Amino acid sequence: HIGWKEVHDDVDSSEAQKSFASETLKQKQEHLQTIQQLKKTQDDYQIETVSFEEELEHLSSQLVDDENFEKKKVYDQRLLELKEKRNLFDKMKTSFEQEA
């Protein structure tokens, strides 16, 4: 009767009822813990999502359009050909100088 102003004689105070109330409270506490864990997981996922969105935005800003990509490939190919021609020219020059 501690904390009650009135005595409630009509309340079932059997061991079965006490056990049921105890089990119900235990389940409620477990559910509250589960909810807290889910909220924390949701917060973690939200932080991770923001991080991924920022990374995606950063990477998207670095993308090169197809036209510039093709130009770069052509440039690289021409540069390679020029280097090969220079090497060939240097070899021919060296060979010519040795003969002279």
Q: With beta carbons less than 8 A apart as the criterion, state whether 72 and 64 touch.
A: yes
Domain boundaries, the chain: 13-63, 65-100
pLDDT above 90: percentage of residues in the chain? 71
How high is the pLDDT of residue 9? Answer: 64
pTM above 0.85, yes or no: no
